[in-house]
Amino acid sequence: MRQSIPAFAARRLLAILPVLAGAVVFVFVVMRLLPADPAAFLVTGPQGGPEQIAALRARLGLDRSIPEQLARYVRDVLSGDLGRSLTTGEPVLADLLQRLPASLELTIAAFAVALAAGIALGTAAAFRPGSAVDHACRFIATAGNSLPGFVVGLCLIYVFYVRLGWSPEPVGRLDGLMVPPPAVTGFLLADSLLAGDGAAFRSALGHLVLPAATMALFALAPLARITRAALIEVLASDYVRTARALQLPTRLVVVHYALHNAAVPIVTTLGLIFSYMLGANVLVEKVFAWPGIGSYALEAVLSADYAPIQGYVLLVALSFAAVNLLVDILYGLLDPRARIRP
């Protein structure tokens, strides 16, 4: 039986709930099992003795049993309260909502670049296996995979900021003393356009180039490789041979028959890469002082700060689920067989 797209989406959406619940409980329990006491971490100076640690544990609710803590946490999460970050002193939900657009903006920019460049490279390589383009594709893929993001980032900073002076200071999303446009979407590019603030738009774009390039290089590699592999397989198939034999225009053969049929594995990879980029761009965020959720979570891990880590995992689980849903829907559109219920 073939489902309609909305019914298909709704069914997938329901399947997400147990995943989220599992993620919340799992992270909560794992954090409590780690032998690190946030209260001991926070009492940083010799003015703090055992009484202060005890008082802090009581305020944080850490003196209660783990099941009781979990019950309270779940109750809070259901009412929209993710707790408070000890590292920043702010509510976790506010922190995450404020930082998520920064991460998304960077990820989307890098993803768009990687997508365009990766598919183009992969396609070119697939059409001429063994050619110079193919070798270049392999070289870039290997380099992108093997060079750590922060090394690439630091090299780019050194060349384009320190030596050439082309890039603005690689710190954050805007010039240090610039007033940001009023937050509507949280995406600085969009907000500055909405506010008609050309200077802010240019500054935001300028700050985005180097970190996005760094991340794109990393994402480019798997994309180019998958595109190449999928296309080579499709190009060797009977229907492409037939299309070519019928002397159909190359453009039609490539875009309509070949790429369309190679799209399923490419879309899968895209979904994976996007989710991965969103969650794992910690180092790029650190190097460029980019105020995203990755560096936020890392900071929290280093200081045994439970609430932000739990909130972060929940958010990343949600976005993984959303991306997977999107990929599934795209599947359904690309290949109607995916919508058949077994």
Partner 1 sequence: MDRRDFLMRGAGVAASLGFAAPSLAQGRAETLRVLAESAANSRDPHGDGVNVPSLGTFTNVYDRLVNFDRSEVLPSVYRYDYSRLIGELAERFEEANDGKSLVFHLRRDATFHDGRPVTAEDVKWSLDRAVSLPASKRQLATGSMTDPAQFVAVDRHTFRIDCPRKDRYTLPNLALTQASIINAEEARRRATAADPWATEWLRNNAAGGGAYRIEGWTAGQQIVYGRFDQWKSGLLPKIRRAVLQVVPAATARVASLQKGDADIVLQLPPKDIDAIATDGRVRVASIPVVTSFRFIAFNTQTKPFDDVRVRQAIAYALPYQGMFDGAVFGHGTPLFGGPSFTPAAADFPQAMPYHLSLEKARTLLAEAGLDQGFQTTFSYNAGDATIAEPVALLVQEGLAAIGIKVEIEKVTAAQWATRLTEKKVPFYVESSAAWFNDPDYFFRIFFQGDWRWNFGSFVNADLAAILDKARWETDRATYDRLMREAIAIVFREVPVALLWLPSFEVAMQPDVTNFTYYIHGQVDFRPITRIA
Closer to partner 1 by Cβ: residue 302 or 322: 302
Closer to partner 1 by Cβ: residue 164 or 245: 164
The residue type at 295: S
Query: CB of 310 within 8 A of CB of 263?
Result: no
Least gap, CB of 33 to partner 1 (angstroms): 12
Least gap, CB of 213 to partner 1 (angstroms): 6
Least gap, CB of 330 to partner 1 (angstroms): 25
Nearest-angstrom CA–CA distance, 129 and 14: 44
Closer to partner 1 by Cβ: residue 27 or 323: 27
Closer to partner 1 by Cβ: residue 38 or 271: 38
Least gap, CB of 102 to partner 1 (angstroms): 9
Count CB neighbours of 18 within 10 A.
Answer: 9
Closer to partner 1 by Cβ: residue 134 or 328: 134
Residues 6+ positions from 66 with CB-CB distance below 8 Å: 29, 32
**Alpha helices for the chain (secondary structure H):** 5-33, 38-42, 50-60, 66-78, 92-127, 132-146, 149-156, 188-194, 198-235, 238-245, 250-251, 260-280, 282-287, 293-302, 306-334
Nearest in space to 115 (alpha carbons), one of 221, 220, 267: 220
Least gap, CB of 242 to partner 1 (angstroms): 32
